[in-house]
Amino acid sequence: MDATPAVRLDGVSKQFGDSYAVRDVNLDIEAGEFFSLLGPSGCGKTTSLRMIGGFTDPTAGSVLLAGEDVTDLPPNRRNVNTVFQSYALFDHLSVADNVAFGLRRKGVGKDEIGERVGEMLELVQLDGHALRKPGTLSGGQRQRVALARALVNRPAVLLLDEPLAALDLKLRRQMQVELKQIQREVGITFVFVTHDQDEALTMSDRLAVMSEGRVEQCGTPEDVYEHPASRFVASFMGTSNLVDGVYRDGKVVLEQGPALPVGRREGVGDGSSVSVSVRPEKIWLSDFEPGMSVLRGVIRETVYSGATTTYLIEVAPGVTLSALEQNTARARMEDRWNGGETVEFGWRPEHCLLLD
């Protein structure tokens, strides 16, 4: 990767009246990286994207592209393009004319336009649809046209504001794979905004989880999922069992029910209020290994989801943990637990996280 970040947000904030949409965000996005801004509605991710694109001016801080301060430059003077959720295609123009629109405004020659449009339509697998109108295309095809129109200008950075949100689930998953493949082929930095955790985990080289205008954690998908830095990240990234208690002598003591063995933790003093975080897929219901923390509980609910079965296990009054098991080829219906049964369950010590 280039040593100079493709995008740098340096202490960027955006204030509307007395409230902050974005507060003191510092981010470096490397050249050629697929980077996602992830978080719930209102967390500041789209406002951050708009400040990179020049559509919104920061209240404080600086926006740099390839080392150049562009904070005061309008969108048309930044080497970025944007794909919006609505696609914003011209229905009266053909697919080819939609893709060529930006090149014609820049005064690019006719022959070069034809060559570049052809390359982009081939890249997004629409080379046989050049003369069709957007209204005759499917949602996935319209999304590809919008992507080709943005890429044909050869921007250094492509900004994508939830471009897959309007697609149905099956098509959305297909487009996630295709979009990542296109990004690798063209080598352009993608900055992708989404509220969908699975989407961010699937597509990103790195991601930033945002909450209330701040970056809670930034890292690779695996690092953020396996090692959440806060209670918010643990709960937002997938499903996590979060149980509050007090840390004492290698265990987390609940108000009611068993103490959860978590082992000695450096930097966590006795009497500290903590949250225990264990992912459902990290909980074992059989074949325990030496050194595992093994507890007992009562199955309160069984949820069959095709590839997996989720068990809701009550370990204490008001404390229920979720455990997920794969329905493998060797699993049988009679091997599953039913509601009301008492089961033993456990986890490896390294899969039990303590969060402030």
The predicted-structure confidence for 55-99, as pLDDT tens digits, reads as follows 999 999 999 999 999 999 999 899 999 988 777 889 999 999 999
Q: What is the reported pLDDT for 348? A: 86
Q: What is the reported pLDDT for 100? A: 93
- Distance separating alpha carbons of residues 185 and 167, to the nearest angstrom: 23
Rounded to 10 deg, the angle between the 95-105 and 139-151 helix axes is 20
Q: What is the reported pLDDT for 1? A: 47
Statement to judge: residues 158 and 184 lie in one domain = yes
Query: Do residues 209 and 40 lie in contact, with contact meaning Cβ atoms separated by under 8 Å?
Result: no
Q: State the residue range of the domain holding 253.
A: 239-351
Tokens of 175: 């487009």
Q: Which helix (H) or strand (E) holds 355?
A: strand 353-355
In a domain, 325, yes or no: yes
Q: What is the reported pLDDT for 320? A: 92
Statement to judge: residues 337 and 260 lie in one domain = yes
Statement to judge: residues 247 and 104 lie in one domain = no
Of 205, 226, 247, the one marking the end of a domain is 226
pTM: 0.88
In a domain, 1, yes or no: no
Statement to judge: residues 50 and 169 lie in one domain = yes
Question: In which residue ranges of the chain is pLDDT below 50?
Answer: 1
Q: Which helix (H) or strand (E) holds 247?
A: strand 241-248
Which tens digit of pLDDT belongs to each residue from 248-290?
888 888 887 788 877 677 778 888 888 889 999 999 988 888 8
Tokens of 322: 């979720």
Q: Which helix (H) or strand (E) holds 183?
A: helix 169-186
From the centroid of its chain, how far is CA 2?
24
Number of Cβ within 10 Å of residue 305's Cβ equals 9
